[in-house]
Amino acid sequence: MSQEQVQEPERSRTAKDLALALWFPAFFVLGFMLFYLLPFHAPAPHGIPVGVVGQQAAATVSAELAQASPGGFDVTPVAAAADIRDAIFHRDVVAGYDPAGHTLYIARADGLQLVQVLQGIFAPLSTGSGGPLRVVDLAPTAPGDGFGTSLFYIAMACNISGYIAVMMMMQATALSRRTKLIALAGFGLFATVVCWAIGTAIQAIPFHPAVLVVGFLLSQAVAWTTFGLAPFVRRALPGVAMGLFVLMSIPSSGGAIPKEMVPGFFQVLHHVMPLGQAIDAARGILYFDATAITVPVLGLLAWWAFGALLVALGAWRDRSAAGREAAAGPEEAAGDAEREREHRIAEAVADEASVGGAHPDAVADARLLAHPVPTLIGRVVDDAGRPVPRARVTVVDHTGGQVDVAAGSEDGRFAVRGRADGWVTVLVSAPGHDPVSERLRLHGAVSHRSVVLRPAAAPAPGEPVSRAPAALPR
């Protein structure tokens, strides 16, 4: 074989490794250009809903606004100035204008940038109709929130922390699905309380404990959906989760830039993505007498329910696979394991690498493939074929020195290293079961061995508690 023929596979492998390593940073760069630079580079009014007192006055103001800012405003007639507050608090409009009194009614809680745009547009209209503009703020922000963006940063912390928690939790493969979900709920509660406590302490938001519910719902909507997506999108999880909860959610949230100042596509996303829903609900509670919060709260619950559905589907798929494997005959099971073992290890290692590397107790630890030593993978079951969760698998050499140790997963799977230069002894144990052991020599890169642990029998009177380990089933 020529040197060029040898180098060609190496170049191909290098290109593939680089592509797998750099696809996420490339996605990140492109996403930020499309979802941040595009809507934020030139904020301008896009269909800002405004109420104007009087039918004829509304028509006149609408025509003037259309000339000053085409497509920038959506004018709605209001019967009287007294009705403007209800319209703003029910979120039908974001501002109201009374031409007779030259008065603009605004809500600073919607963001300082929106207020400045409204004042800049309506001041010339008021002056042209005979009087200087008077501004009335119906929903001022908290004393420590000068720009009206503090709520956005608090909500963003709850949003992103839910996503990050799942990314880190994916590495702890020895933990059960239930334990992870309980941990995500506990962490979400912790993060929400911390963000709320700091925000109220510095007066960035008003003191209102009910907003804690919104923060917790946001964290769980993001965390459960991300966790539920993991078994279906596998190594693409970081891209999918960041695309949903960072690239699409943050620009459309109406926090950094008011949603009325971004293109229509992002205004639609605002009512769909959980971050925008959470900000609407929290603003309603903090500044608008808890009006118009039902829809965004139901939206957050819908996201959480969607995540729970994905989790349930993933669990059902795992149980179905375990049932098929248990029902298969010995020859069929061995054939299936032979065909799938390399694929399972490669996929699992890639999944873990995509979320930050392998955990020391991982079922498919990257070190198993990083070193040219034989690897033993398999599954620990009881004598009825049911998985034995979190069994301890230990490999020792001929001197009794420990070669490797691993904790099996919740569905009984394990992976351990052997030695390339001699025999090893494999010890498998689990609470409530008799341990088993076998001295063997692993051949090739990967070997497969299923392990059956039998329930420990209660010792007879006078019988020693300890007993010699049984042998691994062949």
Q: What is the DSSP string of 279-324?
A: HHHHHHHHHSTTTT-HHHHHHHHHHHHHHHHHHHHHHHHHHHHHHH
Averaged confidence pLDDT in the chain = 84
Of all residues in the chain, what percent carry a pLDDT higher than 90? 55
Give the pLDDT confidence of 306-357 residue by residue, as tens digits. 999 999 999 898 788 767 666 655 555 555 544 444 444 445 444 444 444 4
Lowest mean pLDDT among 92-96, 158-162, 180-184, 256-260: 256-260
**Confidence label for 369 from pLDDT (cuts 50, 70 and 90):** very low
How do beta strands 424-429 and 436-440 pair? Answer: antiparallel
- Of 22-26, 189-193, 279-283, least confident by mean pLDDT is 22-26
pLDDT at 188 over 60: yes
Looking at residue 390, its pLDDT comes to 85
Q: What is the pLDDT of residue 446?
A: 74
425/472 Cα distance (integer angstroms) = 10
Q: Which residue has the tokens 């979320």?
A: 355
| Tokens 């118009």, located at residue | 292
pLDDT value for 18: 83
pLDDT 10s digits, 133-149? 999 999 999 999 988 99
* Residue 349: per-residue pLDDT: 46
Tell me what the mean pLDDT of segment 180-205 comes to: 96
Q: Rounded to whole angstroms, how far apart are CA atoms 343 and 337? A: 10
Domain boundaries of the chain, sorted by first residue: 1-37, 48-137, 150-315, 342-457+466-471
Rounded CA separation 150/167 (Å): 26
Decide which of 323 and 469 is more confident: 323
User: Does 193 have pLDDT greater than 90?
Assistant: yes
Q: What is the pTM of this model?
A: 0.72
Range with lowest mean pLDDT among 16-30, 104-118, 280-294? 16-30
Answer whether residue 129 shows pLDDT above 70.
yes
Cα–Cα nearest to 150, from 201, 185, 95: 201
Which residue type, as a one-letter code, is found at position 378? G
- H/E stretch holding 396 reads strand 392-396
Q: What percent of the chain is modeled with pLDDT above 70?
A: 81
| pLDDT for position 404 | 86
**What is 342-457+466-471's CATH number?**
2.60.40.10
pLDDT at 57 over 80: yes
